[in-house]
Chains A and B, each alone.
Chain A
Amino acid sequence: MPGIYSGLLCTAGVILEAYVVVCLFFRKSFLHELSINVYMIAAAAQTCGLVACTLRFGITSPIYGYYYYYSDSLLTILMFWVIIHFYQEVFQEMRVSRYVRRAAVMLLLATAFFSYLVVRQNQHHLTSQFVVEMGQNLYFVGLVLTYLLWGAVLKLRETRMRLVQLVLALGVYFSATAGTYAIGNLFPGLYMPVLRYLLPILGLWLPASWAYTFTKIPDEARLAAGRLLARAR
């Protein structure tokens, strides 16, 4: 990402992420939405690290590439925590949060074990192709989890509009990013001219849409999620 374009996107990203955290803090939801706050702070820190990496090692260095993809994968795993938080919100009334937590721990262990196996198998060639593939798989797991979450939202007739919008924005983010990574895997030649500009824009989507949701949608706003589908038919 050269020059001004990179700088603008990084600045916008950090501002939006900080805005979400500050917004939640002043609405006294910092602890309730802890996972979102931690993710936003980590994402802002990753962006700052990316700028430092660019200044120190240069944009074409392998260190920059590894930092970008591996920190992105760590952020995706952190995002699973956010998804689990949403699951707990949706299943709140069923009082199954204990089981959700257990399932989450199992999922995290399974992901860690799978990643360990993959890294072990590829330890002699942890190339850019490998990190792109890992990113694609992690985002796809996120997409599947979000899709299941959306199914639960519909099934349990969730009416909290803010939660509905947060989940839908997450779905857009995971599907767009997984698709972009998949295209990068299918056509590696597209990375330099297109995808390296597209991925940072996709990274802005989540903080921007969540900032909008937390600012504009009051906590008590209600909307039957099923109605969104019913009218679409």
Chain B
Amino acid sequence: MIAALIFVISLAALLQFFVLHCRSMLAYSRRIQLSNHILEVTGMTGQDVAAGDFDRLVQLVHLCPERGDDQKQIRVVGLYYALLNMVGRMTRRVVPSVAQWVENERRGCSYFAAVALDRRISYSRDLFSQQVANHT
């Protein structure tokens, strides 16, 4: 009985802490301006990223050399994005206000992926210029 109670409370707390943790990461990434390079690479026109672009951006992230410090966080946000997709599908017709919130959050996830891609592209450029400098 106690174990069941602990399980239920832990599950509720886990969901809350997980969502808040992801939201804090997204809130921080929203403050970072995307560079012109990333806009060129992804074909985006402004600082706004479409909610559905997340998967495409993550695929591009995986094409770049790993920096070794953001892989886990990208996975965590990917999990959050999948959770949002599920909630969005369930609430789209029943509770439109929740669906709107989900859409905003999904856009935040895509923006996070764009920031990660931006970091990796600039890291790749640094690596390339270092190699060029070493060869000359």
Contact = CB atoms under 8 A, between A and B. Distances in A.
Interface in A208-233: 208-209, 211-212, 215-217, 221, 223, 227-229, 231-232
Interface in B7-64: 7, 9-11, 13-14, 16-21, 23-25, 27-28
Given A140-B6, A212-B72, A161 B28 contact: yes
Interface string A144-186: 0011001000000000010011001101101110110111011
A21 interface: no
Given A176-B10, A208-B72, A232 B4 contact: no
Contact of B69 (A174, A178, A216): A216
Interface residues of B, number: 26
A143 interface: yes
Contact of A179 (B11, B24, B28, B69): B11
A171 B70 contact: no
Interface residues of A, number: 38
Nearest to A223: B27
Contacts of B21: 165, 168-169, 171-172, 209
Interface of B: 3-4, 6-7, 9-11, 13-14, 16-21, 23-25, 27-28, 69-70, 72-73, 76, 101
Given A161-B28, A227-B27, 16 more contacts: A133-B3, A136-B3, A168-B17, A172-B18, A174-B13, A175-B13, A175-B14, A178-B10, A182-B6, A182-B10, A186-B3, A208-B72, A216-B28, A217-B28, A228-B20, A231-B101
